[in-house]
Chain A
Amino acid sequence: MAIFNAKNRIIECKLVYYGPGRGGKTTNLEYIFRAFNKHTSSEMVSINTQGDRTLFFDFLPMGLGKIRGCDVKIQLYTVPGQPKYKSTRKMVLKGVDGVVFVADSLEIQRKANIESLKDLAENLAQENKNIFKIPLVMQYNKRDLEEKGIPLMPVELMQRELNSKLKVPYYEASALKGSGVGATLKEALLVTLRHLQKELQWTK
C-alpha cells in the first residue's frame, strides 16, 4: 500500500521478492544492499532459520532521492519460499505495490517455480489484487550455473511456462554474482512507480 504524503511530497512503496524456496531472493537483496549502498541508509534486517533459509522475511529500506520533486522511498521485502510458510507469505504480501518473481533456473526446480507462481496469484487474490494487473517483473536466476555443467532450463522454456500469459518484463540473472540484479530492480521500480503514478497522480 503506497503511502503518498502530498504535503511533504514523500512517496513510499513496497516491493516484494517472491519465488520458490532457495531460489535466490535473499541473495538478490544482499547484493542490492552491498552494491547500492548509496541508497541504503539503514541495515538490512533478515530473519532466518538454520541454513539461512528465510523464516519470516528480509527487509531493506531504500531512498531513491527526489524524482519529479517527490522524495521516493522504497521498502524491499523477501518472503520465505518454502511451501509450509504460506501464511507468513500472505502476511508479508500485505500492502504490496510491486512484485519481483525470482524463478530458479535449475531444472529440478521446474515444478517449484510453477507452484510458487500459483501461490503468488492466490495470495494476491486474497488481498484483492490481480496477478495480471499488479506491477510484476520476472527474474530467471542462477544462470551462472550453466557453465558449471548443472542442468538449467532454457530461458525459452521458462518464458513459456511462467510468462506466456503474464507477458511481463524478464531478466536473466545471477544473484550470487550480481548480474541482472540491478536491471531487475530498476525495471520493477519503474513499472511500480508508473503504476502508482496512474493511481495516485503523485507527480502532479
Chain B
Amino acid sequence: MLSVKSYMSEKEQIKRALREASLYKTQGLLEESREKYLELLNYIRESQKFSTNQELIDAVEKKIKELEKSIQEFEQGPKTLELSTQVQDLIKNLFTFSNTDEAAAVEGAVALAKFGQYERALEEFQSLLEKGIMPVVTAKNIIRCYLSMNTPEAGEILPAMPRAKTKRKKAQQMIIDISGVSIRFDGGPLKGQTVDFDVDFQSSNTVSIVISTNQKHVADCLEPGTRLEDMQCYSPITVFRSNGIVSRKATIKQGPRKGDYMIDITIEED
C-alpha cells in the first residue's frame, strides 16, 4: 500500500505517488515504477473521492501500458554488441593477466568471446590454433564461438575457461567430436612414422581406437602410460594438434573384433 500517513490528504498521497513513480521511471527502474503506478491505481479505485475520476484512472493506466512496453523492449533488446576494433583491442589488453605470451594470447581471445565479440575472438583463436597454441582449449573455444553466434539466446557470455574448473568438469566439457587421430611416434620401433587411426568411441576427452591383431607391432608401441607428444585430432569442424597419453589397453573378448586391441588415449587439455 501507499505509505499511509493519515495526516496527508488523499490528493497529496496521489501526487506523491505520481512523483515517485515518475522518478523511478527516469532512473530506469522500470519494474519499480510500474509497481508504484499499479499500487496507485488500486488506491484510486478504492478511494471514495477519486474512484469516479476516469481521467486520472486513464492517465495512470496509460503510464502502466507505456512501461510494460519499455520493459518488454528491454527484455528483447540485444544482449551483446559489436564493438569497434579499438575497444576490442582494449578488452584484449585489460583482461589478460597471464605471464606467458601464449597463455595471455588465449586469455585475450577468451575475454573477447566472453564479451560477445565472437567474430574477432574466432579470428584470434584460429590464428592461435594455426600456431599450435593450447590446441584443445583453442579448438573448444572456436566451437563455442560458433555455437554462440548461431544461437540467438547465447548472447550471455560463455562459461568460464575450462582451466579454471575442476578436473572432472573439464572432461565433461570436451565437446568436440573427434573422428580420427594421427600419431607420430618419437621413439621405439616406429620412430619417425605417422600412423592414422579411426576413433571408434569417445567419452569426453578420451578416445578409443581399435587395432587389429595383425598390427600388433603398432599396438606394442601403445602401452598404458605412453606419452604421445605429437598427435593430430580430426573433427568435422577443425583439426588440432595435441598431446595425449595412453590411458588403457585391453583385448576385445567377444564379437567380430575378438582378439583386437582396444586402446584408450586421453587427450590432454594443455
Contacts and interface: CB of A to CB of B under 8 A. Distances in A.
B16 interface: yes
Given A51-B74, A52-B28, A87-B114, 13 more contacts: A22-B28, A59-B94, A84-B156, A87-B159, A88-B157, A91-B111, A91-B114, A91-B115, A94-B97, A108-B24, A108-B29, A108-B36, A148-B23
Contacts of A55: 80-81
Interface in B29-48: 29, 32, 36
B214 interface: no
A157 interface: no
Given A1-B97, A59-B90, A95-B97, A53 B19 contact: no
Nearest to B31: A108
Given A49-B77, A49-B81, A52-B28, A145 B23 contact: yes
A88 B158 CA distance: 10
A146 B89 CA distance: 43
A22 B97 contact: no
Contacts of B23: 145, 148, 150
A149 B16 contact: yes
A47 interface: yes
Interface string B7-22: 0000000001001100
Contacts of B94: 59, 75
A74 B157 CA distance: 27
A148 B23 CA distance: 10
A53 B27 CA distance: 10
A45 interface: yes
B19 A94 contact: no
Interface string B61-102: 000000000000110011011010001001100110100000
A194 to B, nearest CB: 23
A50 B36 CA distance: 23
A63 interface: no
A109 B77 CA distance: 24
Nearest to B83: A47
A94 B77 contact: no
A150 B19 CA distance: 8
A173 B176 CA distance: 52
Contacts of A109: 29, 32
Interface string A1-24: 100000000000000000001100
B4 to A, nearest CB: 13
Interface of B: 3, 16, 19-20, 23-24, 27-29, 32, 36, 73-74, 77-78, 80-81, 83, 87, 90-91, 94-95, 97, 111, 114-115, 156-157, 159-160
A11 to B, nearest CB: 16
A47 B24 CA distance: 23
Interface residues of A, number: 29
Q: Which of B19, B83, B157, B159 has the most CB of A within 10 A?
A: B157
A49 B78 contact: yes
Contacts of A45: 87, 90
Contacts of A108: 24, 29, 32, 36
A56 interface: yes
21 contacts: A1-B97, A45-B90, A47-B83, A49-B81, A50-B73, A51-B28, A51-B74, A87-B114, A87-B156, A87-B159, A87-B160, A88-B114, A88-B115, A91-B111, A91-B115, A94-B95, A94-B97, A95-B97, A148-B19, A150-B20, A150-B23
A65 interface: no
A87 B148 CA distance: 15
Given A1-B97, A59-B94, A91-B115, A50 B74 contact: yes
A151 interface: yes
Contacts of A148: 19, 23
A151 B16 CA distance: 10
Interface in A38-91: 45, 47, 49-53, 55-56, 59, 75, 84, 87-88, 90-91
A84 B32 CA distance: 17
A59 B83 CA distance: 14
A151 B114 CA distance: 38
Contacts of A150: 19-20, 23
A56 B115 contact: yes
Nearest to A61: B94
Contacts of B156: 84, 87
